[in-house]
Amino acid sequence: MGFLKKTLFIVSSILVAFVVIGFLLPSEYEVKRNIIIKAQPEEVYPEVVDLRAWQNWGVWFQKDPDMQIEYGGPDRAIGMYSKWQSETQGDGEMRIINLQHNKEISYSLYFPDFDMGSTGEVKLEPTVEGTKVVWSDSGEVGNNPVNRYFVLFIDDMIGPDFEMGLENLKTVVENKQ
């Protein structure tokens, strides 16, 4: 009986510690990557502002070629959206929320499977070499201590997809020249 009490106490203590530490972890995250593309911002912008064009360079579309995608709203403008359903990549919605012509696109993301959302940006900065493209995504996971552990790993989970997506975008744009 003493062994059972000690085991129960140890397991309970570990669980309480896990929850308490979870509350102390950050609830906000940001993932950011960048690349230089040998082209002017006005050559890169059409590939970013048109959500249909993301299929040409977005990693998630390559990971699931059977992804079901629906587009709506004003074409290449604030309010344009894409909704997708995917067995392997999950379901989601992306909506353009702000634009600065040839400079920036901001979008909101929502993932109904997790009831979570985030905000992303793709910024285009002219440089001597061409255009520096900075892609970022940030969000807040709330007070759930388990989701806060997720924040610790999100850069490692999403970052490589951003890097590959930017490499693909570079290839698409530079091959058009």
Residues ≥6 apart with Cβ < 8 Å to 174 = 37, 38, 39
List 99's β-bridge partners, or say none: 105
145/77: higher pLDDT: 77
**Does any domain span residue 21?**
no
Does a structural domain hold residue 95?
yes
Q: Is residue 149 situated within a structural domain?
A: yes
Report the pLDDT averaged over residues 126-131. Answer: 97
Q: What's the rounded Cα separation, in Å, for the pair 146 and 25? A: 10
34 falls within a domain: yes
pLDDT at position 101 is 97
For residue 41, what is the domain's CATH number? 3.30.530.20
pLDDT score of 115: 84
- With beta carbons less than 8 A apart as the criterion, state whether 83 and 93 touch: yes
Residue 129: what are its φ and ψ, rounded to 5°?
Answer: -80, -15
Q: Which range of residues forms the domain containing residue 147?
A: 28-175
Structure tokens at 121: 């940006």
27 pLDDT higher than 80: yes
Within-domain flag for 18: no
Give per-residue burial for 110-139: e unless 16+ CB within 10 Å, then b.
beeeeebebbbbbbbeeeeebbbbebbbeb
Whether 2 maps to a domain, the answer reads no
Q: What's the domain count of the chain?
A: 1
In this predicted model, which residue has the larger pLDDT, 63 or 163?
163
What percentage of the chain carries pLDDT values higher than 90? 69
DSSP class per residue in 95-122: EEEEEETTTEEEEEEEETTTTEEEEEEE
Kindly state whether residue 70 falls inside one of the protein's structural domains: yes
CA 49 centroid distance within chain: 16
Give the per-residue pLDDT at 160: 96
Could you tell me the CA-to-CA distances from 138 to 37, 127, 135, 168 in Å, in that order? 23, 25, 10, 22
With CA atoms as reference, report the closest residue to 173 among 139, 124, 137, 138.
124
* 68 close to 84: Cβ distance less than 8 angstroms: yes
Q: Environment class of residue 47 by beta-carbon count within 10 Å: exposed (0-12), middle (13-18) or buried (19+)? A: buried
